Structure 1
Amino acid sequence: MAEHDPPGALAGYRQLLAAQVRSQLQYRVSFVMDILGNLVLTLVDVATVVVLFRVTPVLGGFSLPEALLISGLANLSFALCDLSVGNIDTMRLYIRTGRFDAVLARPLSVLLQLICGDLALRRFGRVAQGVVVLVIALNLVPVRWTFARAALLVLAPLFGAVLFASIFVAGSTVAFWFIESGEFANSFTYGGRDFSAYPATVYAGWFRKAFAYGLGFAFVAYYPALAILGKPDPLGGPRLLSWSSPVVALAAAGVAALIWRTGIRHYRSTGS
Structure 2
Amino acid sequence: MARSRSMGNARLFLRFAAASIAGQARYPASALMLTTGQFLATGIEVVAIWALFDRFGSLQGWRLGEVALFYGLVHAMFALADMLGRGFDVLGTELLRTGAFDRLLLRPRPVALQLMGHDLRLSRLGRLLQAGLVLAFGSVQAGIDWTPAAIAVAVFAVAGGVALFLGILVLQGALAFWTVESLEIANVFTYGGVEAGQYPMALYARWFRRLLTFGVPLACVAYYPALWVLGRADPLGAPAWVGAVSPLAGFVFLGLAFGVWRLGLRRYASSGS
Under a length normalisation based on structure 2, what TM-score does the superposition of the two structures give? Answer: 0.90
In structure 1, the residue matched to 2:257 is: 256
Q: CA RMSD in A?
A: 2.2
CA 1:211 to 1:102, structure 2 compared with 1: closer, same or farther past 3 Å? same
Cα distance in structure 2, aligned partners of 1:125 and 1:117: 20
In structure 1, the residue matched to 2:234 is: 233
In structure 2, the residue matched to 1:75 is: 75
Counterpart amino acid of 1:142?
A: G
In structure 1, the residue matched to 2:244 is: 243
> Equivalent pairs: percent with the same residue?
39
Contact 1:6–1:108 (CA under 8 A) maintained in structure 2: no
Per the TM alignment, residue 194 of structure 1 is displaced from its structure 2 partner at its CA by: 1.2
Cα distance in structure 2, aligned partners of 1:25 and 1:16: 14
Cα distance in structure 1, aligned partners of 2:151 and 2:15: 36
Query: Is 1:52 aligned to 2:52, yes or no?
Result: yes
CA 1:10 to 1:166, structure 2 compared with 1: closer, same or farther past 3 Å? closer
Cα distance in structure 1, aligned partners of 2:238 and 2:178: 38
Per the TM alignment, residue 7 of structure 1 is displaced from its structure 2 partner at its CA by: 8.8
Per the TM alignment, residue 54 of structure 1 is displaced from its structure 2 partner at its CA by: 3.0
In structure 2, the residue matched to 1:120 is: 121
Query: Is 1:84 aligned to 2:84, yes or no?
Result: yes
Per the TM alignment, residue 14 of structure 1 is displaced from its structure 2 partner at its CA by: 4.0
In structure 2, the residue matched to 1:34 is: 34
In structure 2, the residue matched to 1:222 is: 223
Query: Is 1:110 aligned to 2:111, yes or no?
Result: yes
In structure 1, the residue matched to 2:156 is: 155
Cα distance in structure 2, aligned partners of 1:205 and 1:184: 22
117-126 vs 207-216, which deviates more?
207-216
How many residue pairs were aligned?
269
CA 1:181 to 1:27, structure 2 compared with 1: closer, same or farther past 3 Å? closer
Cα distance in structure 2, aligned partners of 1:46 and 1:188: 20
Cα distance in structure 2, aligned partners of 1:241 and 1:124: 30
Counterpart amino acid of 1:18?
A: A
CA 1:181 to 1:7, structure 2 compared with 1: closer, same or farther past 3 Å? closer
100-109 vs 245-254, which deviates more?
245-254
CA 1:19 to 1:147, structure 2 compared with 1: closer, same or farther past 3 Å? closer
Q: Structure 2: give runs of 5+ residues left out of the alignment.
A: none
Cα distance in structure 1, aligned partners of 2:96 and 2:248: 33
Deviations 1:48-101 (A, max 9, x none): 322221332222431111011111111111111112223321111211221111
Counterpart amino acid of 2:78?
A: F
Counterpart amino acid of 2:44?
A: V
Aligned 1:158-173 pairs, distance under 5 A = 158-173=159-174
Contact 1:42–1:75 (CA under 8 A) maintained in structure 2: no
Contact 1:6–1:107 (CA under 8 A) maintained in structure 2: no
Per the TM alignment, residue 11 of structure 1 is displaced from its structure 2 partner at its CA by: 5.3
In structure 1, the residue matched to 2:188 is: 187
Under a length normalisation based on structure 1, what TM-score does the superposition of the two structures give? Answer: 0.90
Cα distance in structure 1, aligned partners of 2:179 and 2:26: 36
Contact 1:70–1:225 (CA under 8 A) maintained in structure 2: yes
Q: Structure 1: give runs of 5+ residues left out of the alignment.
A: none
99-108 vs 142-151, which deviates more?
142-151
Deviations 1:168-190 (A, max 9, x none): 11222111111233311111111
Cα distance in structure 1, aligned partners of 2:248 and 2:7: 31
In structure 2, the residue matched to 1:17 is: 17
Cα distance in structure 1, aligned partners of 2:144 and 2:6: 48
258-267 vs 244-253, which deviates more?
244-253
55-64 vs 160-169, which deviates more?
55-64
Counterpart amino acid of 1:215?
A: V
Per the TM alignment, residue 139 of structure 1 is displaced from its structure 2 partner at its CA by: 1.1
Counterpart amino acid of 1:164?
A: F
SS at 2:179's partner residue? coil
Cα distance in structure 2, aligned partners of 1:139 and 1:99: 49
SS at 2:153's partner residue? helix
In structure 2, the residue matched to 1:98 is: 99
SS at 2:143's partner residue? coil
In structure 2, the residue matched to 1:43 is: 43
Counterpart amino acid of 1:216?
A: P
Per the TM alignment, residue 132 of structure 1 is displaced from its structure 2 partner at its CA by: 1.2
Per the TM alignment, residue 10 of structure 1 is displaced from its structure 2 partner at its CA by: 5.3
